[in-house]
């Protein structure tokens, strides 16, 4: 199957700091989706990317689709306590009904 | 939340017993998915359905079967549960606004003793 590497595995930051995480794949894809999962809940879609080089924002979140189509990053600016959770990247191609998920980045905010 | 419910939300069972998990959706989505989530593995696809009675395997389908007799219901069955199937199981549906987007249910935590 597709190799999808997500890093870092975990992050411990202080409130107000900026956060950056990324994913790299072994193959080219034309869809990158970023999800967030809070404790006890299912993942929720944050940002969808469909074009190489595309930069998309959702509030304090910004994600980019790498120009090689093999990577993507997610940035969170000025973190707040409700940003705590696990962030997943996922990949697919148009016409493929399935998503492949990364192993997640667990974000913890230190008081 | 795309109108997805999962039942039960928690279940403890013994090795060798059959278990069925139910996913119910109210918005007439064609595609439905079952994933399992384990530490260090993220979400892995077990089976998916692309219509009533139309299903296909995912990457971790061994030991699981599925059925979809109605658009709104997608059942996941563990014929003879094993301890390795202890996991959190998520159902998802494919959305219609963005390509490839999926919406997830709240999950079922299954413990096999």
pLDDT value at residue B39: 87
Structure tokens at B84: 């390795």
- How many other C-beta atoms can be found within 10 angstroms of the C-beta atom of residue B38? 14
**Per-window interface: A 90-109 vs B, CB < 8 A:** 92, 94, 96-104
Contact A42 B104 (CB under 8 A): yes
B-chain residues within 8 Å CB-CB of A42? 4, 90, 92, 104-107
Q: pLDDT tens, B57-112?
A: 999 999 999 999 999 999 999 999 999 999 999 999 998 887 789 999 999 999 99
pLDDT value at residue B87: 97
Q: pLDDT tens, A31-77?
A: 999 999 999 999 999 999 999 999 999 999 999 999 999 999 999 99
Only one residue has tokens 């061994």, namely B62
Burial class (CB in 10 A: 0-12, 13-18, 19+), B72: middle
Beta-carbon contacts of residue B97 (< 8 Å; ≥ 6 apart): none
Contact A42 B48 (CB under 8 A): no
Contact B31 A44 (CB under 8 A): no
* Omega before B8 within 30 of 0, i.e. cis: yes
Judged against a pLDDT cut of 90, whether residue A2 lies above it is answered with: no
């Amino acid at each position: 199957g597709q190799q999808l590497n997500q890093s870092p595995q975990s992050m411990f930051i202080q409130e107000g700091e900026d956060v950056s995480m990324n994913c790299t794949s072994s193959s080219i894809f034309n869809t990158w989706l970023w999800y967030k999962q809070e404790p006890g809940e299912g993942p929720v879609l944050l940002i969808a990317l469909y074009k190489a080089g595309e930069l998309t924002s959702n509030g304090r979140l910004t994600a980019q689709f790498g120009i090689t189509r093999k990577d993507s990053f997610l940035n969170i600016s000025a973190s707040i306590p409700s940003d705590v959770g696990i962030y997943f990247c996922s990949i697919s191609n148009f016409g493929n009904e399935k998503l492949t998920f990364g192993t997640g980045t667990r974000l913890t905010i230190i008081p | 939340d795309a109108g997805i419910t999962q039942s039960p939300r928690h279940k403890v069972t013994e090795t060798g017993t059959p278990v069925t998990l139910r996913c119910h959706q109210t918005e007439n989505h064609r595609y439905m998915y079952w994933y399992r989530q384990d530490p260090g593995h993220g979400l892995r696809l077990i089976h998916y359905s692309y219509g009533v009675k139309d299903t296909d395997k995912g990457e971790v389908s061994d030991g699981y079967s599925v059925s979809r007799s109605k658009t709104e219901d997608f059942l996941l069955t563990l014929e003879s549960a094993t301890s390795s199937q202890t996991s959190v199981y998520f159902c998802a549906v494919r959305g219609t606004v963005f390509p490839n987007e999926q919406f997830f249910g709240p999950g079922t935590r299954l413990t096999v003793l």
